[in-house]
Structure 1
Amino acid sequence: MNPSATCTRCGLQDESFLHCIRDYEFSRSLWNHIGFNNLDFFSNLDVYDWLKLGATCSNDLLFSAGLWWSWRHRNLMCLNNETWSLSRISFHIRAMVETFSNCFSPASNEGSIDRYIKWNHDNYPCTILNVDGSCPDSPVRSGFGGIIINTFGHYLVGFSGFIQGSSDILLAELYAIYKGLLLAKDMNIDELVCYSDSLHSVNLIRGPHAKFHTHAVLIQDIKELLSQTNASLYHTLREGNQCADFFAKLGASSDADYLIHASTPDGVRDLLRNDAMRTFFLRE
């Protein structure tokens, strides 16, 4: 508890609930940035009425996520001396809205519905890293790979590698994420979304620390990389991860521990063109 009620961020007003979440200069800018710019939104001085107004409006999920991240950012500023950009917080807010929407979507009682997948299916406006692992059955080998593409689908760099003496697909998937994030960090990429089609890997990394897991050290290294950079990790389906699959198979078929491909290798250009054109593929 602070000995003073004064807001530690502005030093001018008491840190009431509404000042902290809504009326502080950065908080107000955040609400405006995600679309809450009606004067009535900021004029209500009763906390209960304001929360009720937001929770029952047409953008109720966006409002709920905005509340959470406005509070999160206040704590980041006050406790960690961190200030995030509006676009970065907005990115996390919209990702949370997507999670809310998926959780509360009613289950369909109809038969199976065709699902179409594309690269960067959530249309995140930043640099995209796609990664994958590969373990072909014959001969038994394992490799990893990935590709970094800008928001318009233009190739920046690719990488691939061979894992000596292993046929562990989870290790290949995790190693692809690790090497991809490390490469993006070395390239000083400002904002990054990493897609992996290994849901198991994504859940291990986003979940609590699993100190007794076989790959605990690698998982922790990935967690630390994510915490040190403006990068987010999401699951994608394999139909939206075809370029990364190409580089992972390239790694499994070679004997090079790690290669960076500054230019596009033969065979990947058609796949890259599909991504740039946002081509939809039927989910198998």
Structure 2
Amino acid sequence: MRFPQNSGHWLKHRGVLALLGALLLSVTLAGPVFAQLGHAVPGQIGLQDSATPIDTEIRTFYNGILTPIIFAVSIFVGALLLIVIFRFNEKVNPTPSMLTHNTTLEVAWTIVPVLILVFIAIPSFRLLDHELVIPKTDLTVKVTGHQWYWTYAYPSDGFDFDSYIKADKDLKPGDLRQLAVDNEAVVPVNKTVLVQVTATDVIHSFTVPSFGVRIDAVPGRLNQTWFRATKEGIYYGQCSKLCGENHAYMPIAFRVVSDADYAAWLADAKKKFSANALPHYADAAPAVARN
């Protein structure tokens, strides 16, 4: 059997092509794990399910604009690389070209990326404007980051509480390891919540993916963001700034409930936390154990 001219170059790389094909087949057969409400799952593909209008806009921007552009650019660049590998190698072209530049091509590969970035920037700035402009709020929650726990204050109701990660021995059925906390922040559904964020020691980052919220907690500075959760449930986040030894052990948990359930929780919380038994700025306790 005789192969066409230059087919040896394809045969030489058949092992690599076969490996790529096998990887693609295995991923296809395994099937993706899609997002769930409130937290990520192992093997997940894509962002967490949206629970706020802002996060819905983020997902639309990501899935409808960024992902197709990235996919198209990746395919285009990959095709160019394959062309260069198989058409312009030393064996196929023993005599190298003396071409040094092409003005038209250089102008094109400068202008086209700029136009792509401008196209991305327009909806990006619009989304950023929606996040920065805080509408009329129904509730204010002040969040303070510490090494390594969070304090939630409800100024209009006159109480606050600390929220620590649950130790493994304290987990109950349904609790998520490394995400469950002893005291969850609770907010009513379909209400605009103003979140004021600061810190007492180092820079932390307050992040709740399903809310589309991520904002730095900086000592001496009060940053603000907002969300309006439209679905009841519990939503988890984590500190997203490397803040010390136990950075991985300061999760965030918000429980979104109905107005009636929120009123009941609020009445209990005022009794439970009114004594304010825990000092706000005490020396940090180990993240996995609260004394």
Same fold (TM over 0.5): no
**Higher share of residues assigned helix:** 1
Q: Which has the larger radius of gyration?
A: 2
**Higher share of residues assigned strand:** 2
